[in-house]
Amino acid sequence: MTAIGVALRIIAYLLQAYTVVLLIRVVLDWARILARDWRPSGIILVLANFVYAITDPPLRYLGRYIPPLRLGTIALDLGFLVLFFGVSFLIRILFYLSYTV
């Protein structure tokens, strides 16, 4: 395997870690929705701050261009879906390229 292949795999693994962070954000958002008076504290607060600090900039950027889908009283954030599937697609491309390079 070449150095470029190794670099592509490292980037792909970092993006996989980012998808895990995105899924943790979903869990935190649902916890906030379902238990309105729950506030994270201790290590969970540190984790939540880290997760929101990493995921907010790309989601805010996508939110400027992709409006939420309104379904009655519910608004579905399509920016999150675009980011999640875009990162997943990029991971597959990087792994494929790492094997062919």
pLDDT mean across residues, the chain: 94
User: What residues does each domain of the chain span?
Assistant: 3-100
Mean pLDDT confidence for 6-25: 97
Task: Read off the pLDDT of residues 59-77 as tens digits, 9 standing for 90 and up.
Answer: 999 999 999 999 999 888 8
For 39, which DSSP code? -
Asked if residue 91 lies in contact with residue 84, where contact means CB atoms within 8 angstroms, the answer is no
Task: Write down the pTM of the prediction.
Answer: 0.89
Q: What is the pLDDT of residue 76?
A: 87
Name residues whose C-beta falls within 8 Å of residue 55's C-beta, 6 or more positions apart in sequence: 21, 22, 25
